[in-house]
Each structure stands twice: as structure tokens, then as C-alpha cells.
């Protein structure tokens, strides 16, 4: 019985959890904190009442921003059994068909009427609703529900949900990476528990968090980051347990050449620390705290360097706004033979350059440059068709597998042997 309780607690919302609020196609990642006001879709609410409820539950926002669990409706509303016209040719959209004014609707809200009741009032006071076709009536009701029904669904964060959230709100932050492309990247890179994976990304931590989620807290993830420090805003939205962060390491991309050459000194002061502090002149940090932070950063650098020195990583994932060619050529040297790698870019020209360089250099096989494209469909009775408004493309992927180069032959013997010259045919006069 105790096992059932523990298993059920995994699917219940707890205080301090990171969750995703959903209304229609709009998502927002927040943390459950007591008495904290959350603004979602121009509406403020408190999430205290959601604690203890199951994930994927739908709540109604009542007065005061309090959440109330929405009871499932087993009976059809009166609007479902309605009269319908044959076509809409005689309907004129002149703005006079609705008898209720905006002030009347605000008065209904002040009286405490719920969203469904307001929608029913709008239907009853519309002079053209009964003349519309059944499809037009459903479209009208759906539009009014989106506007007047104060409901919100609380979801458990996952890489698919967070990818949809970022792509819908701020696609530029994740380099316009779609969730289907992200799924292909995890598959092509063979991300699994117990592996050692290198990740270089500038997608707000979404790709890094997806790799950690797939590995389940087992193995090692080394984040190669540009600039003064790693960006992990997306990783926090996953709400991983503490032991997930024990597998995460970080290494600055600017030290890769020194590590490959064997000249990296992990005990020396980080030269990038001074540049990072230029932006924090107004912050007063005690010398003791500053020394502790520098020591902690050196320990992290040494731990990540120790993992990279073996050059036995099991996978490489690159998704960045920078040109991927120099990054790919440098990080491929840390992979073991027969290990997969995948590179994402919005533009195929950058990946074509990587493809050509890898073909010339050798050491890789099964190179594939693919274009991903996802199309959404509306699936309804007698009106199934592709969604008209959607993204034109999902970016490009370059994938392949590393192989061990044959170092036994000298460089001159690796050239292809030229075929022997053909014998010339002699004429009778030359004999």
C-alpha cells in the first residue's frame, strides 16, 4: 500500500515543483510557491490550491485568482443541441447581430457568472446564431470559450512541452528548434543512460535539459559553453531532482585548444573571470566569497577536463547560433571511434560546409544532411485539413559516426594509386 502511495505522489503537484501552465496553445513555465501571484495571459492567479492535485488537471480561476478544480461535464450543454442553417450566404457581419454590449458583459462578470454561462447568454442574444451552419456555430462557440472561459491546465514539464512553449513564445531563443527536430537529435545522437555526452548549445538550456531527461540522471553530460558562464534557464524549468545535477559538468569552449595541446593549467586563475566581473562593478562581493567562488570554478574546470582528457565520449550534440564548423572539428576529437554526432542549424549552408570538411578530412562515415519539416492537421468530422498558419521549416540536421583513422600508412601512400597507362597501338608504317 505504501508503494502505491509513493508511486501516486510522483504524479501529484507539490510545493516547489516547476510546472507548465497551459491554455489553448499558450504555455508558461512557473514554480509553485505559496502566496505568489502569477500572471498568465493578462490574468493573475495563485497556485496554492493546485498543491496535492494530479498533473494535467484543469482548474477554473474564480474571484481573487483562486484555482478551483474543474469538474468533468458528463451531460451535453444546451448549446450542443441547437438549430443550424444550411449556409451562411444571408448573414451580414455588420456588428448589430449581438444585443449584449460590452458593459452588459462586464456586468455579468461582476455578478459572478462563469464563462460557460456568459457564452450561453451571448448565444441567446445573437440574432444570427441559429442561421449559421453547424460548423460556423462550433467555430463561434470555440472562439467565445477562448475569450471568456477562465480555465488553466497544469502540466508536468517535459522536453516536448518546453520545446512547444519556447517555440510558441520566443522561437529566437532556441534557434527556431521544433520538438520533432529535437526528438530526431536525441535519437541520432543515441542518448541513453550511462553514457558520456558532449553538448554545445545556445538554446537557453533546452537541448541540455532534454539530454539530461533522456539519460535519467545516470552518466555524464559535459556542457561546452561560450562566454563567461553557461546558460541553463531551460534546465531549471525541467525541475530535475538534485542527483540529476551531479552528472552535469561544464567546460568553456575557449579552453578546448589548450586541452587538446596539453597546455591547460586548471590550477591557474581563470582569465575569463576578470572580464565577467567588469559587468558587476556595482555589486559588493567580499574577498572571501570571491575566493570561494573562484576555487569552486577551478574544481569544476578540473573535473570536466579530467573527463575530456580520455577522449572517450559517447556522443556529441551541437545546436548553436554560431557557425558550427570550427566547433564540430574541435569537439570531434573527444569522441571515441564508432560514436554518433549530430549538428543542428537553421541554415543548410553552414552544414554543407561542415559536410564538405568532414569528407575531406576523413574519420567519419554515414554522413547525412537532412531537412526536417512538421505539418499540423486539424482533425474534425468532415473538415480534416492541414493547419493554414504554421512554420515553413524545422531547420537542418547533419549526423554521422566517427571511425578510427588508419595511422599505420604514411601520408603519401594514402593517395589513390593511378591506373597503369594503356599501351599505344602501333600502325603498319611504324612496325
pLDDT in tens, 209-241: 999 999 999 999 999 999 888 889 999 999 999
The whole-number pLDDT of residue 128 equals 78
- What mean pLDDT do residues 310-328 have? 94
Burial of 164 (0-12, 13-18, 19+ CB in 10 A): middle
* CB contact set of 238 (below 8 Å; sequence gap of 6+): 18, 157, 158, 159, 162, 209, 212, 213
407 Cα distance to chain centroid: 41
**Between residues 193 and 408, the one the model is more confident about:** 193
pLDDT tens track for 294-308: 778 888 888 899 999
User: How many whole angstroms separate alpha carbon 158 and alpha carbon 182?
Assistant: 12
| Contact (CB, 8 A) for 376 and 390 | yes
Nearest to 201 by CA among 167, 164, 239, 173: 173
pTM: 0.81
The whole-number pLDDT of residue 429 equals 60
User: How many whole angstroms separate alpha carbon 150 and alpha carbon 119?
Assistant: 12
The whole-number pLDDT of residue 180 equals 93
Query: Helix (H, G, I), strand (E, B), or coil: what is residue 272?
Result: helix
What percentage of the chain reaches a pLDDT higher than 90? Answer: 43
User: How many whole angstroms separate alpha carbon 50 and alpha carbon 64?
Assistant: 15
Amino acid at each position: 500500500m505504501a508503494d502505491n502511495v509513493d508511486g501516486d505522489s510522483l504524479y501529484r503537484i507539490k510545493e516547489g515543483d516547476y510546472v507548465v501552465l497551459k491554455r489553448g496553445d499558450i504555455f508558461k513555465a512557473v514554480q509553485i510557491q505559496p502566496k505568489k501571484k502569477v500572471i498568465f495571459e493578462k490574468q493573475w492567479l495563485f497556485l496554492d490550491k493546485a498543491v496535492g492535485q494530479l498533473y494535467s488537471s484543469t482548474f477554473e480561476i474564480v474571484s481573487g485568482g483562486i484555482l478551483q478544480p474543474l469538474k468533468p461535464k458528463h451531460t451535453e450543454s444546451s448549446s450542443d443541441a441547437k438549430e443550424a442553417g444550411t449556409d451562411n450566404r444571408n448573414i451580414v457581419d455588420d456588428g448589430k447581430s449581438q444585443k449584449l454590449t460590452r458593459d452588459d458583459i462586464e456586468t455579468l462578470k461582476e455578478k459572478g457568472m462563469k464563462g460557460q454561462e456568459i457564452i450561453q447568454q451571448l448565444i441567446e442574444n445573437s440574432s444570427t446564431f441559429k442561421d449559421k451552419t453547424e460548423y460556423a456555430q462550433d467555430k463561434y462557440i470555440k472562439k467565445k470559450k477562448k475569450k471568456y472561459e477562465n480555465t488553466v491546465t497544469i502540466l508536468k514539464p517535459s522536453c516536448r512541452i518546453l520545446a512547444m512553449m519556447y517555440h510558441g513564445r520566443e522561437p529566437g531563443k532556441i534557434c527556431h528548434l521544433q520538438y520533432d527536430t529535437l526528438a530526431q537529435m536525441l535519437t541520432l545522437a543515441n542518448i541513453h543512460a550511462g553514457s558520456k555526452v558532449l553538448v554545445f548549445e545556445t538554446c537557453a538550456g533546452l537541448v541540455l535539459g532534454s539530454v539530461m531527461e533522456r539519460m535519467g540522471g545516470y552518466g555524464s553530460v559535459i556542457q561546452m559553453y561560450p562566454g563567461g558562464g553557461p546558460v541553463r534557464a531551460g534546465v531549471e524549468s525541467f525541475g530535475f531532482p538534485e542527483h540529476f545535477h551531479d552528472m552535469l559538468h561544464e567546460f568553456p569552449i575557449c579552453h578546448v585548444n589548450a586541452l587538446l595541446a596539453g597546455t591547460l593549467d586548471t590550477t591557474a586563475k581563470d582569465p575569463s573571470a576578470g572580464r565577467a566581473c567588469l559587468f558587476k562593478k556595482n555589486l559588493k562581493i567580499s574577498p572571501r566569497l570571491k575566493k570561494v567562488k573562484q576555487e569552486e570554478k577551478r574544481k569544476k574546470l578540473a573535473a570536466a577536463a579530467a573527463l575530456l582528457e580520455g577522449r572517450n565520449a559517447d556522443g556529441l550534440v551541437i545546436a548553436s547560433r554560431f557557425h558550427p564548423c570550427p566547433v564540430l572539428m574541435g569537439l570531434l576529437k573527444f569522441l571515441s571511434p564508432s560514436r554518433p554526432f549530430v549538428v543542428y542549424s537553421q541554415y543548410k549552408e553552414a552544414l554543407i560546409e561542415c559536410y564538405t570538411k568532414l569528407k575531406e578530412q576523413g574519420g567519419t562515415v554515414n554522413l547525412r544532411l537532412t531537412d526536417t519539416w512538421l505539418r499540423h492537421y486539424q482533425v474534425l468530422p468532415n473538415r480534416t485539413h492541414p493547419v493554414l498558419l504554421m512554420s515553413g521549416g524545422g531547420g537542418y540536421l547533419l549526423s554521422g559516426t566517427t571511425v578510427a583513422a588508419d595511422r599505420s600508412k604514411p601520408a603519401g601512400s594514402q593517395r589513390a594509386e593511378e591506373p597503369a597507362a594503356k599501351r599505344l597501338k602501333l600502325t603498319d608504317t611504324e612496325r
